[in-house]
Amino acid sequence: MAKFPLDAIEQHIRHHHPGCPDFAISYFSSEIAQRNWRDASLGQAVGITMQTFLRHEMTDYDTLLLLGIERSEARDRVQPRIDAMLKVWRKKPKAAKRKQAREVDNV
């Protein structure tokens, strides 16, 4: 079983999901650090945690289940929204891109 250190988790998320808000990084890092991850890499732990959070908190997945939609169908219906959010988080925020461009110009 693997337990990941908080600072390593935060660093991983900031590197792979630079558009993820700081409050979300703190939340995900805390959630991941508290669990024992059997046979999972840090990247898998981050992916599972983000997917689960977004599915239950940012979509109507739970409502679909309550309406009697099969779990696999409900997941298929909400996955595009989850993918869109993860795509946004994988990109650097525009302000950070502008700052980085200014720093390169000043060199």
More confident residue, 22 or 103: 22
pLDDT of residue 2: 80
Model-wide pTM > 0.85: no
Mean pLDDT of 59-80: 98
Contact 53, 29 (CB under 8 A): no
| CA-to-CA dists, residue 91 to 16, 25, 61, angstroms | 9, 15, 25
pLDDT band at 37 (very low <50, low <70, confident <90, very high): very high
Residue 100 has pLDDT above 80, yes or no: no
More confident residue, 107 or 61: 61
Alpha-helical runs (H) found in the chain: 6-16, 22-34, 42-57, 61-66, 71-90, 94-105
pLDDT of residue 41: 95
In whole numbers, what is the pLDDT of the chain averaged over residues?
91
